[in-house]
Chains A and B, each alone.
Chain A
Amino acid sequence: MAEVRCPLCGRINPDDLDYCQFCDARLKQLLAPSPDDLHRIQPGQGPIKRQTAEFEKVKPGGNVPIHAGEEPTKKDTGDLERALPSWLKGLRGGVDQPAGEQGAPSTGAAAPAASEPDAESLDWLAGLESVAADDEDPEVADWMAGLRPPTASAPTPDIQSAPEQDWLSHPDVEEPPAAQTEPEKEAQTSDPDWLERLSSTQPSARLPGTSPFKAAGGQLSEPPEETTPVVEPVPDWLAALKPEAAEPAAAPDGGGDDLPDWLSTLPSIPVSTTPEEAAAAEPDWLSNLKGLPAASEYAPGEAEGLGSDWPASTGNETSAAASVFTEPIPAAAPSGEVPDWLSKLQSDVSEASRQEMAPEEFETAREPFPADKPAEVIPDWLSSVEAGDASAASTPALVLPEDSGGSSGSGQAAFSLETPDWLSKLRPEKPVEAPSSTSEEPQEAGLEAADLPSWVQAMRPVESVIVDAQPTSFEEIGAAEATGPLAGMRGVLPASTGMAPIRKPPAYAIKLQMTSNQQRYAAQLERMIVEEGQPREVKPVRQFSNQLWRILISLILIAAVLLPLMTGMQLAPDMVLYPSEWEATSQLLDSFRPEAPILIVFDYDPALSGELQAAAAPVIDHILYRNSRLALLSTSPTGPALAEQFLVSTQKYHLDTGLLYTNLGYLAGGPAGIRLFASDPHAAVTLDVDGSPAWGSAALQGVGQLSDFAALILLTDDADTGRLWIEQTRAALGTTPLLMIISAQAEPMIRPYFDAGQIQGLVTGLAGGKAYEQTYAAPGLARRYWDSFGLGTLAALIIISIGGAMGALASWRARRKV
């Protein structure tokens, strides 16, 4: 018959069942597997895109996931209870059911804990028992399986035959070296001072009649059969771990199989025979620990499980140390000889034990444990846990500072702060028989302290943690809450009605008190606000608009210009002071040989043709009187037309008398074209403006390069254009003079080149033309324009002066008003 393993609990079920007979989980799928499910992705294959819409449909109940900030909705999960795995049920059952009903191994130590109905302590570990009991649960993790108690059939390891299990018992069981002599014992006794003092304090804590050395040594070295089982409260989970100690005599050697590898590899140590030898062989610090009073309190049979259960042995030593530390440790203890962690542990345990392990309290704490409990040697912290469990029902909600070790100083407080919650939960608490200060707190009806969950008790404020924050008087902090969640907190709730003094509230004057300045400022502000709301009369101001000013100035200038033109009056005299460049330029013009080819470049805009024609006309006229041949060129598209128009309008006489000139037209390329023309004129220009071969004309006979021209005359209104010609043709010209006839607006930028000698002649604007016309030519355009220019310049000067004066006056008035 086929078997089916439950997918939930993992147990084997018959094939014919639809539900697991153990956990009622469905064993068979409701839906047949889809073809896509059959196609598993094999290694090397790509993922297959699957339709997930069906999964969205079968989403249970269409539950919307809870988002942040939303309150979770309470659901009835009763149906899901059956689906819980067994181990999870066991965990829950550990809370609900007594430990004895969970199938956990009934050990002597676990019995009392299981018999207690309110086993609130370590309830989360209670499930481990059920887990350990369920051997067939395959879902239990290995580490949890390791925590399972050995079954009855499992051989119990022999503690005596397996000394490696208890590494702390090695000093007791190993063979004392034969060479151990008295000096070594003396060295053994040469312990640190604090340990010696600790040893000296043992009589106060140990039972009478037992010497420290004997007690410790006897406890550790005597056979377990002689020890009396110590009745110590052991948690459930620990009880489940202690079957090994339950049968120490029958423990075989094979019990070492449970040991970790590193521990099992340790060599076996011979068993010591006598206590003295064992004490001589053990280390110093351990020999001092043996003399702890707690060890002396144990009966000889208490050490029965010492050699088999290392936790128990550790707890034994810890318990002994705790008993030793009941005496205050001197502050001058040589801490340098003790590790920090050990000294801290000493101080912490000492402070805790000093409050808790008083002789009477110690006896009281031991009373709840029956004497017939199995022999268990548990650590002190575990015993404190049991003590806490035993007194859990009566754990006071309020622990006053003096009760909770407030007098013990900050050591315990620091210990509480540094330990996690669960560890602080395990901290030894006050036994039931607390001092009267605690018992005097009223245990009023209502929420009992024992009813609080363990985690809430762990979170409750304990005043001993913050010692420095204690108020000085009870009246200052108010009453402390004794019960409920606020237990232990002072001054949280107000005092009872009628406690606080009642007095009449002070009477405040309604009248606003103001100083005189404040009243004055307020009145001024009010007056300003009122004035802002009142309409203000605006005096009409007659102002000339900018357009009117522009028209007026334009009319003045036009009138000044038109007056000489229309009347023909000569208002401006001839030029008396010639420009500085006139002398050099006139000498240059006189140096031209007759019929020499001269290159004239027309690089100006039509807008300024009037100025340049007036400036260049007398100069060109002067040249043409020497029968010079002209070559006209321009780097502006409008240049060739302007050149023709210049000759027609100003040199009509020479044209009529057979002027030889060639219009080379437009020179493209800008600076590069100028550069090319300077280096190879024939390559730059091949045809004239009429399309005829340029260099074959009569005007350019004998001209092969730029330096073959007698002079280069540049007419331009742009300083940049003039600069380009200067820069690009300077090397190619050689000794050929460069003469510039420029507009007045380009003079500031071109004159430095004339001053530097890079250009040899310069004629600037109407003034320069007038100077040459006045010297070499008949009256022409320059003379015609000169009167208008003079009168217009005078008018402009007057307007500028008046405008400047008005501006200065307005500025002065503005500053004066301000």
Chain B
Amino acid sequence: MSLAFSWDLLTGLLSFLLTLMVLSYLIGDNPAFRVAIYLFIGVSAGYAAAIAWNQVLKPRLFMPLLQGGWTDFLLLVPLMLGLLMFTKLSPRAARLGSPSLALIVGVGAAVAIGGAVLGTLFPQTLAVVNQFDLPPASEGWSKWLGVLGEALLMLVGTVSTLVYFHFSTKATPGGPQRGKLIQAIAWVGQIFVAVTFGVLFAGVFTAAMTALIERMDFLVTFLSQLLGFG
């Protein structure tokens, strides 16, 4: 399929150039890379502002105020709070925006902490305990041992990792040192932490590799279509 002069060709060509400009970072920082970055940031910000106006402010605030009933006048409160946020631009009037910021931070923190406690802390703790809910032996010793080993591994990993971040020491003639038992457990935890970092790096590398493949595939496809090889 060859690309005719169309909107797709234009957007494809623009995407091709921007991709090459970003890849030019291989030879170091250069104006082409900077232009691509600045353009990406600007377009993203503009697009986000357009989305906020079209999908939030206009349909959720101004339209109800202009066309809504008496009950919608309560929206003046968020409107005022929103306007007070602009006072943060001026150092002299920045205090006027503090209530709005306090409301945002306070509500956000309350929601996040409540969700973290009830949605992460308790369930994850319970999950570690439930790992020792071993299957009956009738299902086979291998499964039973496998579940038990997995539960022990998880328990050791959890405890040793937590101990690794336990930095309390006691005074000794040679300086502050952790206890030998704590040191041994922390050494095990250090291994788990290292493995975790390795896994994170592998995940990041995999994601980056996939992104590179997608871009290379785009370039190959665009060129092949542009040149008529596709």
- Which residues between 41 and 94 of chain B lie within 8 Å of chain A, taking CB atoms? 44, 47-48, 51-52, 54-56, 59-60
Report how many A-B pairs have Cβ atoms within 8 Å: 154
Interface string of B101-123 (1 = CB under 8 A from A): 00000011001100110111001
User: Does A675 sit at the interface, judged by CB under 8 A?
Assistant: yes
> SS class of chain B's interface: helix, strand, loop or mixed?
helix
Tell whether A672 pairs with B111 under 8 Å between CB atoms, given A611-B207, A641-B47.
yes
Closest to B131 in A: A755
Closest to A675 in B: B111
Interface string of B178-214 (1 = CB under 8 A from A): 0000000000000000001001101111110111111
- Which residues between 555 and 612 of chain A lie within 8 Å of chain B, taking CB atoms? 557-558, 561-562, 565-566, 607-611
Stretch at the interface among B140-148, B168-176, B215-223: B215-223
Interface size on A, residues (CB 8 A): 62
Q: Which of B108, B123, B127, B203 contacts A672 (CB 8 A)?
A: B108
Tell whether A637 pairs with B51 under 8 Å between CB atoms, given A785-B217, A789-B209.
yes
User: Does A744 sit at the interface, judged by CB under 8 A?
Assistant: yes
Q: Which of A613, A666, A724, A796 contacts B51 (CB 8 A)?
A: A666
B119: chain A residues at CB < 8 Å are: 723, 726-728, 730, 758
Task: Determine whether the beta carbon of B212 is less than 8 Å from that of A561.
Answer: yes
Interface string of A725-747 (1 = CB under 8 A from B): 01110110000000000011111
- Which residues between 23 and 57 of chain B lie within 8 Å of chain A, taking CB atoms? 26-28, 44, 47-48, 51-52, 54-56
Closest to A552 in B: B26
User: Does A614 sit at the interface, judged by CB under 8 A?
Assistant: yes
B200: chain A residues at CB < 8 Å are: 745, 748
Task: Determine whether the beta carbon of B47 is less than 8 Å from that of A637.
Answer: yes
Tell whether A610 pairs with B59 under 8 Å between CB atoms, given A727-B118, A745-B200, A745-B203.
no
Tell whether A747 pairs with B210 under 8 Å between CB atoms, given A638-B47, A675-B115.
no
Closest to B44 in A: A638
User: Does A4 sit at the interface, judged by CB under 8 A?
Assistant: no
Task: Determine whether the beta carbon of A665 is less than 8 Å from that of B213.
Answer: no
User: Does B177 sit at the interface, judged by CB under 8 A?
Assistant: no
Task: Determine whether the beta carbon of B123 is less than 8 Å from that of A562.
Answer: no
Tell whether A785 pairs with B127 under 8 Å between CB atoms, given A561-B216, A675-B111, A727-B115.
no
Interface string of A696-731 (1 = CB under 8 A from B): 000000000000000000000100000110111011
Tell whether A668 pairs with B207 under 8 Å between CB atoms, given A730-B119, A752-B127.
no
- Which residues between 658 and 703 of chain A lie within 8 Å of chain B, taking CB atoms? 665-666, 668, 670-672, 675, 686-687, 689, 691
User: Does A204 sit at the interface, judged by CB under 8 A?
Assistant: no
B206: chain A residues at CB < 8 Å are: 744-745, 765-767, 789, 793
Q: B54: shortest Cβ distance to chain A, in Å?
A: 8
Task: Determine whether the beta carbon of B124 is less than 8 Å from that of A756.
Answer: yes
**Whole-angstrom CA separation of A611 from B217 in the bound complex:** 12
A691: chain B residues at CB < 8 Å are: 54, 59
Most buried by A among B28, B111, B211: B111
Task: Determine whether the beta carbon of B60 is less than 8 Å from that of A608.
Answer: no
Binding site for A on B (CB under 8 A): 26-28, 44, 47-48, 51-52, 54-56, 59-60, 107-108, 111-112, 115-116, 118-120, 123-124, 126-127, 130, 196, 199-200, 202-207, 209-217, 220
* Minimum-distance CB pairs A-B, first 10: A610-B214, A727-B119, A727-B115, A756-B127, A637-B48, A744-B206, A611-B210, A745-B203, A745-B207, A637-B51
